[in-house]
Amino acid sequence: MEESESASDKPRPWQSYHTVYTNAKAGMNGVDQEKVQRVVYEMSKGSKYFENEERKEVLIRQKVEHMRARAAKLSAADLSHYQKVADKRILELESTRDLSRVWLHVDMDAFYAAVETLSNPSLKGKPMAVGSMSMISTANYEARKFGVRAAMPGFIARKLCPDLIFVPTDFKKYTYYSDLTKKVFWDYDPNFMAAGLDEAYLDITKVCEERSITGAEIAEELRSRVYGETGLTCSAGVAPNRLLAKVCSDINKPNGQFVLPNDRMAVMTFISSLPIRKVFFDQLILSSCFKLCWRLRKLNLQIGGIGKVTENILKDVFGISTCEEMLQKGSFLCVLFSHSSAG
């Protein structure tokens, strides 16, 4: 008993060591996150990467303290004024909400790893990663159960999963299969937008109307055609805009789909529970969420989204983890992050 108490009292510095490769990806829900953090921490201690992460950590703490001090100085009158400003902005945005389109985001499952398994079926069911000892491009879902993921150094992945099989990258092969998927996408939206080799955004409004068919049915059909053409599975999200469709395609990965109906209440409820990390600074979020996000961009290290710094400030200073909480604290965000008042 004494022993376990003293063990739990021991410092655990890895608990605050969050890096891009301790973040979860699809297929990593049951992972022992503390173990992954400890291994990543211990194996990267002393490296340049580690020193850089530590520097970032100090910067985050300073920014959190600075923001806390500024928030404490706000008077009730300030907050009530900025609450009105926030409410007005939200109303303005609400009036521009467009629920008339149906977007589909499609994303291949464990793409490079799945292609490698097609050419070497003996890899099926075994934990494998595409990449090298220095860097992994992706890992299959068997490997993800051990906490192995894209953007993780291979030597750390091997520590997490000693039986991990490494396969070198072969872009020619991935491009070949990517082109096959694009031929299928073209049939549903000739103007589809590819994002890299393994994902695309399709406006399926017209094809749904022409064929009197739902977005869900199109998604089923498209996924089954992609499988027929390539032997690879993919996942899809269907929603009123691109950003939401992208968030939706991750929900039932692998080989699944999720549909968010073109209904105001459904969209509001869905956005409310979204973790702030999912918010991307994109034209898209403006129509589905709220403009306050733009103000946060100033503090962001990660171009294009709410990165680690902003996420920490929002969580530690304001207790904000979801988009709903962000709306509730609109007055604080408005005054502290607006261009005119940000320090």
CB 198 to ligand DCP: min, Å: 4
CA 142 to chain centre: 20
Using the minimum distance from each CB to ligand DCP, give the nearer residue, 110 or 299: 110
Longest Cα separation, the chain: 71
| # chain residues binding ligand DCP, by CB under 6 A | 15
Dihedral in degrees, nearest 10, Cα atoms 71, 74, 77, 82? -40
Local structure of residue 305 (DSSP, 8 states): B
Does residue 311 interact with Mg ion by CB under 5 A?
no
- At 43, give phi and psi (nearest 5°): -80, -20
Report the candidate in 100, 338, 140 with the shortest Cα–Cα distance to residue 233.
140
Active-site choice (53, 116, 142, 199): 199
Q: Is 293 in the site for ligand DCP (CB under 6 A)?
A: no
- E-strand stretches of the chain: 103-108, 128-131, 136-139, 165-167, 193-195, 199-203, 234-239, 257-259
Nearest CB to Mg ion, comparing residues 232 and 289:
232
Min. distance of Cβ 170 from Mg ion in angstroms?
17
> Alpha helices of 10-103 — where are they, by DSSP H?
33-44, 48-72, 76-95
Using the contact rule CB under 6 A, the part of the chain among 109-117, 159-167, 270-278, 282-290 near ligand DCP is 109-117
Strand partners, 165: 128
Q: Which of 37, 40, 109, 276 binds ligand DCP (CB under 6 A)?
A: 109
Instruction: Select from 92-100, 106-114, 295-303, 310-318 the region that touches ligand DCP (CB under 6 A).
Output: 106-114
Say whether 199 is catalytic: yes
Q: Show contacts with ligand DCP in window 196-235 (CB under 6 A).
A: 198
Spatial distance between the Cα atoms of 25 and 21, rounded to a whole number of angstroms: 9
C-alpha 104: how far from chain center: 17
How many C-beta atoms surround the C-beta of residue 295 within 10 A?
19
- Which residue among 110, 157, 219, 336 contacts ligand DCP (CB under 6 A)? 110
Q: Which of residues 17-46 bind ligand DCP (CB under 6 A)?
A: 25-26
Nearer to Mg ion, 31 or 106 (CB): 106
Q: Is residue 115 within the footprint of Mg ion (CB under 5 A)?
A: no
Q: Give the other-Cβ count within 10 Å of 216's Cβ.
A: 16
Residues in CB range of 297: below 8 A, 6 or more apart: 281
Q: Which of 26, 104, 108, 161 binds Mg ion (CB under 5 A)?
A: 108
Part of the chain binding Mg ion (CB under 5 A), chosen from 19-27, 81-89, 104-112, 217-225: 104-112
Minimum CB distance to ligand DCP smaller for 106 or for 271: 106
CA distances from 208 to 102, 202, 204 (A): 8, 12, 6
Closest to Mg ion by CB, 111 vs 174, is 111
Distance from the Cα of residue 337 to its chain's centroid = 23
The only residue of 86, 104, 106, 108 in contact with ligand DCP, by rule CB under 6 A? 108
Q: Does 157 bind Mg ion (CB under 5 A)?
A: no
Antiparallel, parallel or unpaired: β 103-108 and 199-203? antiparallel
Site string for Mg ion, 180-209 (x = CB under 5 A): ------------------x-----------
Name the residue nearer to ligand DCP (CB basis): 25 or 242: 25
Q: Which of 106, 100, 60, 35 is nearest to 254 (CA)?
A: 106
Binding region for ligand DCP (CB under 6 A) out of 8-16, 110-118, 262-270, 324-332: 110-118
Active site residues: 199
Q: Give the interface with Mg ion as residue ranges (CB under 5 A).
A: 107-108, 111, 198
Q: Give the interface with ligand DCP as residue ranges (CB under 6 A).
A: 25-26, 107-112, 137-138, 150-151, 198, 253-254
